[in-house]
C-alpha cells in the first residue's frame, strides 16, 4: 500500500471519522439537552426556595410582637369628697342620674 499524505486520511478512515463526528455531534446534543434539563430543574428548585424564604419572611414580619406603646398609667384615686355607696357615686339627691352598664367578658 502506498504511503498516504499526512493531511489526508484513507477512504476507510475518512468514512469512520465522519461517523465519529456524527456520533460526537449527537453526543454533544445529548449533553446539551441534559445540561438544559439540569438548568431547568435547578431554576425551579431555586425559585421554590426563594418563594419559601419570602413567605417565611412575610410570616415572621407579620407575627412579630409590636411595640407596646406608652406605658399604661393608673388613674389617680378619687377624692374623698365624692360619696360612694355600693355602686353609686355622688349625692343621692343629685338633679341628674346617669346609669352606665358594661360587659367586659
Per residue in 43-58, pLDDT (tens digit) is: 999 999 999 999 999 9
Residue predicted with more confidence, 11 or 97:
97
User: Which own/partner contact pairs does 97-104 have at CB distance under 8 Å and 24+ positions apart?
Assistant: none
- Whole-angstrom CA distances from 100 to 6, 16, 58, 86 are 113, 105, 44, 14
* Portion of the chain with pLDDT greater than 70, in percent: 78
Task: Output DSSP code: residue 67.
Answer: P
Task: Output DSSP code: residue 87.
Answer: T
Please report the pLDDT score of residue 91 as a whole number: 86
* 102 phi and psi angles, rounded to 5 deg: -145, 145
Amino acid at each position: 500500500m502506498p504511503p498516504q499524505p499526512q493531511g489526508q486520511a484513507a477512504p476507510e478512515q475518512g468514512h469512520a471519522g465522519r461517523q465519529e463526528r456524527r456520533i460526537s455531534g449527537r453526543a454533544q446534543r445529548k449533553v446539551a439537552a441534559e445540561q438544559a434539563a439540569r438548568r431547568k430543574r435547578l431554576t425551579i428548585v431555586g425559585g421554590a426556595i426563594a418563594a419559601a424564604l419570602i413567605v417565611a419572611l412575610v410570616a415572621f414580619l407579620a407575627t412579630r410582637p409590636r411595640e407596646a406603646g406608652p406605658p399604661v398609667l393608673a388613674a389617680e384615686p378619687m377624692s374623698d369628697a365624692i360619696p360612694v355607696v355600693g355602686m353609686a357615686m355622688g349625692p343621692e339627691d343629685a338633679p341628674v342620674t346617669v346609669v352606665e352598664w358594661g360587659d367586659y367578658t
